[in-house]
Amino acid sequence: VYFTWVIRDFGTAEWFHSLLHAIEEQDTQNRIEISIYLTAKIKEDDMNNILVQDVGAERDAITSLRAPTHFGRPNWDRVFSSIGQKHPETDVGVFFCGPAVLSKTLKQMSNKYTQPKGTRFFFGKENF
């Protein structure tokens, strides 16, 4: 399972933080890969502090998860390509909940990276 979460800043979604920790704790076979992307600009001093705390740490300095926090938006071409390479000739469900503009992008990526005799991406959405 690949779980990609794109948020403006982590403070706006603290309600989800404990659930992500619980998921990591129960994932003893490392079957879930969590990727968090923060899209808001971060002050240079804050970024430097984060980088210093992150060096060699087993847990992310921002989330305390094993999964690292990425800054900026995901490179969807890279994400879909990587999943396609890791899971050839597999059906992959892409489940999305969020804004319509991102829904459109993910549907396009699902279609772009679907190979009739290879990996097939199936897109499903729920918009808010």
The answer to whether the pTM exceeds 0.85 is no
The parts of the chain modelled with pLDDT lower than 50 are: none
Instruction: Determine contact, residues 6/102, Cβ cutoff 8 Å.
Output: yes
Does residue 28 sit in the same domain as residue 64?
yes
Which of 28, 44, 74 is at the close of a domain? 74
Does residue 67 sit in the same domain as residue 119?
no
Identify the domain containing residue 16 by its residue range.
Answer: 1-74
Q: What is the pLDDT of residue 69?
A: 82
Query: How many Cα atoms occupy the beta-carbon half-sphere of 47 within 13 Å?
Result: 9
Condensed to tens digits (0 to 9), the pLDDT of residues 77-102 reads: 999 999 999 999 999 999 999 999 99
The domain total for the chain is 2
